[in-house]
Amino acid sequence: MKKPQSKPSYFNFRRLPHGVLVAGDLGGWALLTPAEFKLFSSGKLTKGPGLAKLERAGLISSRLDFDALCADWRDSNDYLERGPGLHILVLTQNCNHGCVYCQAGSGRGASMSPAAARRAVDFAFSAPVEGLTLEFQGGEPLLNWPALKAAALYARSKAAKTGKELALALVSNFSTMTEEKAEFLISNDISVCTSLDGPADLHNANRPFSGGDSHARAVKWIKYFQRRRGGLPPGGPSALLTVTRASLGRAPEIVDEYARLKLPYVFLRPLTPMGQAPKRWGEIGYGPEEFLEFYRAGLNRVLALNRRGVKIKEKTAFLLVKKILGSQDNKYVDLRCPCGAGLGQLAYDCDGGIYTCDEGRMLARDGDNSFRLGGVRDGYARIINSFPVKACALSSSLDLQPACARCAYKAWCGACPAYNSAAQGGFWGSMPSNARCRILTGVFDHIFALLAGKDNLNIFNQWLEN
């Protein structure tokens, strides 16, 4: 029998409407015609543009550049040698909104004392990282201003003493923002992010606020921070969107609202079954296909605006395109392998409890303590070696997930043990019936369909350049 002349290296594949995607473990990929794929998979593709693409992607086993492949892998996974860089301080469980999907705790609850906030900062600085981000969250963190101020000033002084790089961030509904607080945030270089669910009627229906018009408050302070900071990150305001059933069919309007407010990103993320959402799923939830229709309409609207010169990006597409087009970026902890639970982030609750991540902390509010690692009085080594960190690392390692191991999108994807626990009752979940996986598959399909068009590819490249 004749020996194959161009034996493929290990690959996964997916048939798409415009060709067959073949992808290696390290992120190399090529889109082949069905005829090229037939030759490639049988080791008989010996000439033509398809072969050149496959060689460059490291998919021909006899022509692998091991040095380049190893360097690439090391660069994109160097976070594994460090510790968690993102530290989320839940300053209070109190909130003055009654969002239909609340996942963080609305109504009255516990708050962190300034002393407890400083202890959390001490713990965060004990992580073996050169740079760290402290993010203030709630409930509504502005309702615990003394702890926020104490933690921010203490962290800045620790950064000066230790020489560690420090970024501070606030996630707030802005409803109790004042000029004095805003100026403190600006002078201490604390970036701000708020919630914006779209035009006023939609936002206010999703986010009832007993004190008045939530949308108007959010917009007022977005504009204030833009005026004071030039409107661009780092430091400029950003916003997060939660998509409910009421948002479906309104993706272009939502994108237009973000563009109108000159926000740099719109982040089209599906609702997760945590907090209030599972209890009201029949009213506010939807299926993966419904979300994907919304997503495609939203991303298409972003690209249409880009063609007219409007500068706005869709965050999920941005994160994925960045990885797919070759600049492996594993800062986003929910789309990496293993995921960022403990290894990339930690969340500190009001009682000093430490969790793998904010989602793990949210699950504890509903009585599931599987993601609790210990408390701030435990040492770093004990926390990072705790069982939930190991369980998350194993269950989010895609080579150990049977469906992911054979998925063409594995190199750029990530599994979420917290989502799996909430939706399917265990860290591992089951990808064939996992709604998050179905959504990610559909998002990747759409992005690869867009990448096949030169015009879209140019726009995505501009996103990366800027």
Could you list the residues that contact ligand SF4 (CB under 6 A)?
333-334, 339-341, 345, 356-357, 359-360, 392, 396, 398, 401, 403-404, 407, 409-410, 413-419, 431, 437, 440-441
Per-residue exposure over 351-369, b if at least 16 CB sit within 10 Å of its own CB, e if not: ebbbbbbbbbbbbbbeebe
Q: How far is the CB of 93 from ligand SF4 (least distance, A)?
A: 19
DSSP state of 266: E
Residue 183 half-sphere exposure, CB side, CA atoms within 13 Å? 3
Which residue, 256 or 358, is less far from ligand SF4 as judged by CB? 358
Q: How far is the CB of 165 from ligand SF4 (least distance, A)?
A: 22
Q: How far is the CB of 433 from ligand SF4 (least distance, A)?
A: 11
Q: Are 243 and 296 in contact (CB under 8 A)?
A: no
Which residue, 42 or 369, is less far from ligand SF4 as judged by CB? 369
Q: What is the 3-state secondary structure (H, E, C) of 185-204?
A: HHHCCEEEEEECCCCHHHHH
Which residue, 259 or 398, is less far from ligand SF4 as judged by CB? 398
Rama region for 367: left / alpha / beta (φ>0; ψ in -120 to 50; rest):
left
Cα 93 to Cα 134: distance, rounded to the nearest angstrom: 18
Which residue, 299 or 393, is less far from ligand SF4 as judged by CB? 393
Which residue, 19 or 360, is less far from ligand SF4 as judged by CB? 360
Q: How far is the CB of 419 from ligand SF4 (least distance, A)?
A: 6
Residues 6+ apart with CB under 8 A from 376: 116, 119, 120, 122, 123, 348, 352, 354
Pairing of strands 131-137, 165-171: parallel
Which residue, 91 or 437, is less far from ligand SF4 as judged by CB? 437
Q: How far is the CB of 127 from ligand SF4 (least distance, A)?
A: 15
Nearest alpha carbon to residue 179 among 117, 139, 227: 227
Q: How far is the CB of 366 from ligand SF4 (least distance, A)?
A: 15
Which residue, 102 or 219, is less far from ligand SF4 as judged by CB? 102
Q: How far is the CB of 286 from ligand SF4 (least distance, A)?
A: 19
Which residue, 58 or 414, is less far from ligand SF4 as judged by CB? 414
Whose tokens are 């004095």? That residue is 180
Q: How far is the CB of 56 from ligand SF4 (least distance, A)?
A: 23
Cα 26 to Cα 24: distance, rounded to the nearest angstrom: 6
Residues 6+ apart with CB under 8 A from 462: 306
- φ/ψ (deg, to 5) at 265: -135, 150
Residues paired with residue 90 on neighbouring β-strands, in sequence order: 137
Long-range pairs for 325-332: beta carbons < 8 A, 24 or more residues apart? 325/460, 325/461, 325/464, 326/27, 327/464, 328/27, 328/72, 328/75, 328/76, 329/76, 330/76, 330/77, 330/79
Which residue, 117 or 440, is less far from ligand SF4 as judged by CB? 440
Which residue, 214 or 316, is less far from ligand SF4 as judged by CB? 316
Q: How far is the CB of 375 from ligand SF4 (least distance, A)?
A: 19
Nearest alpha carbon to residue 263 among 297, 203, 218: 218
Q: How far is the CB of 349 from ligand SF4 (least distance, A)?
A: 14
Instruction: Report the chain's C-alpha Rg in angstroms.
Output: 23
Q: Would you state the structure tokens that stand for residue 250, as one six-digit string?
A: 């309104």
